[in-house]
Amino acid sequence: MNILVAVPNSNFNIDDIKQSFAANHSFANDHVYYNVEHPDIDLDQIDVLVGYDGKLLDQMLASPNSRLKWVQALSAGVDYLPLKQLQAHNVILTTVKGIHAEPIAESTVGMILSQYRFLNEAARAQGWLKPTHQLKMIKNKNAVIFGTGHIGSRIAELLDAFGANPIGVNHSGHPAAAFKQTASTDDLDNPLITGADIIVNALPLTPATTNLYNADFFNRLTNQPIFLSIGRGPSTNTADLLAAIQDHRLGAAGLDVTDPEPLPADDPLWREPNVLITSHISGLHAEYMDEALAILEKNLQQFKQDGTVAINQVDFSKGY
């Protein structure tokens, strides 16, 4: 099997990826190439693309002689990939869904604590600063989490351990194991949502979730919640979020994803004292590539047998 590894962005180090492949002996009988080391490789001979390089993928999809059968993304979200073209060429697409849940959940809790426990303000002050408002606890707070998949569920579990009341929001409002109650994204006037103390965006980006958190959404809120976004930036209208912060419809915000990315240095959100922004890093951790390759390994074993994959295949009709 010919496998081409493409480094998708600056969060990934080619040497770390190579070490992870070398340490996993399951790929010993496969030919593994790296786009940065083999720029002139015959793309028509590649069976599997791991990672992402838009130019290379476009060339493979445009070639009538391409052997490409499968793309293994190194992310959970796939909104940046040409889904329609992949589907038209019968190319399987899989993700590393599941490996982000723990680090993102921990980052989310950290963002909440940074606001509730005066950590963000203290770090900004770099001095002996006393709070001028009552500090909060996570305990007994109603935490509304949009997205009840791996990531949303793990956030719910951690917040439940702190004594919060996790409420899940998904497309249909169907029950989900980690949540005490659920609601539907079609029912944004539900008091469970409008009365939230904590709101977390953990949704994938689809046409239905683009611009979901806008002025109309923020105007429904009644309890000045903290808003956390760790899903995809374009789900939130940046200008409307800023207005909601400045008008005190939101008590605070923690953003690991923004629209655009990177957020420009002169964006006024940077200057809001109750907004904490990280650079789309909440899913990263030291074992990332090892866990990603474990998914690739499992899928590759089945793919060699019958041309199908075992886990994490993207449903092109849903976009995730």
Q: What is the pLDDT of residue 39?
A: 87
Are 166 and 145 in contact by the 8 Å Cβ rule? The answer is: yes
pLDDT tens digit sequence for 112-137: 999 999 999 999 899 999 999 999 99
Q: What is the pLDDT of residue 45?
A: 97
Please state the domain extents for the chain.
2-98+285-306, 101-277
Asked if residue 98 has pLDDT above 90, the reply is yes
The confidence band for 255, taking pLDDT boundaries of 50, 70 and 90, is very high
Percent share of the chain, pLDDT over 70: 100
Fold match, 2-98+285-306 / 101-277: yes
Are 231 and 202 in contact by the 8 Å Cβ rule? The answer is: yes
Q: What is the pLDDT of residue 256?
A: 98
Asked if residue 12 has pLDDT above 90, the reply is no
pLDDT tens digit sequence for 279-300: 999 999 999 999 999 999 999 9
* pTM (two decimals): 0.90
In the 8-state DSSP scheme, what is residue 231? S
Q: How far apart are CA 229 and CA 151, in angstroms?
A: 12
Percent share of the chain, pLDDT over 90: 92
Asked if residue 241 has pLDDT above 90, the reply is yes
Q: What is the pLDDT of residue 11?
A: 82
Q: For the chain, give me the number of helices (H) and strands (E)?
A: 10, 12
Q: What is the pLDDT of residue 243?
A: 98
What the block records as the tokens of 257 is 């994803």
Q: Which CATH number fits domain 2-98+285-306: 3.90.220.20, 3.40.50.720, 1.10.274.10, 3.40.470.10?
A: 3.40.50.720
Q: What is the pLDDT of residue 270?
A: 98
**Residue 36 parent element (H or E):** none
Asked if residue 304 has pLDDT above 90, the reply is yes
Buried b (16+ CB within 10 A) or exposed e, 144-182: bbbbbbbbbbbbbbbbbebebbbbbbbeebeebebbebb
Asked if residue 240 has pLDDT above 90, the reply is yes
Q: What is the pLDDT of residue 206?
A: 93
- Within 8 A by CB and 6+ apart from 1, the residues are 30, 31, 47, 48, 300, 304
Q: How far apart are CA 126 and CA 139, in angstroms?
A: 28
What the block records as the tokens of 236 is 């939130």
The superfamily in CATH containing domain 101-277 is NAD(P)-binding Rossmann-like Domain (3.40.50.720)
Asked if residue 8 has pLDDT above 90, the reply is no
Asked if residue 168 has pLDDT above 90, the reply is yes
Q: How far apart are CA 45 and CA 87, in angstroms?
A: 20
pLDDT tens digit sequence for 30-51: 999 999 888 899 999 999 999 9
